[in-house]
Structure 1
């Protein structure tokens, strides 16, 4: 899946901490039920867009629970990173 976000201040992006958290309705992707469907997107890396070039960037994210930013049950990336670090 993908989402597009327009940011007008990319010159100020120097690290992942400069990229905002973002969210989505997990019920639309079958990642959550309707009564508690908020999911958070946490930036984990970003790259210059190879097609459009600067100032366009591609931000890779992982899905987290918005309450505590723990990995969402559907977040297989977090488990992979954990295993790779062992």
Structure 2
């Protein structure tokens, strides 16, 4: 069963563009490298410059492999010191 992930990403003030650049690069890499990725879509809230990543994975195993893989590790390292708070992640299971 597929798993949907919603991640809220809040840059430190003044780092919105830098965070956006890092996230856009991650989108390209994850779509190319991570098996089981059905959707990896970056969105921005123009009101405050925060980002929302909406992901869909073929199953929980694909999500777990992504979380343990190099693309995710590199993304986490690149965002170090650029975020106002830890990324809020919700993993959701479809019910209907």
* Same fold? TM cut 0.5: no
**If you compute each CA radius of gyration, which structure gives the higher value, 1 or 2?**
1
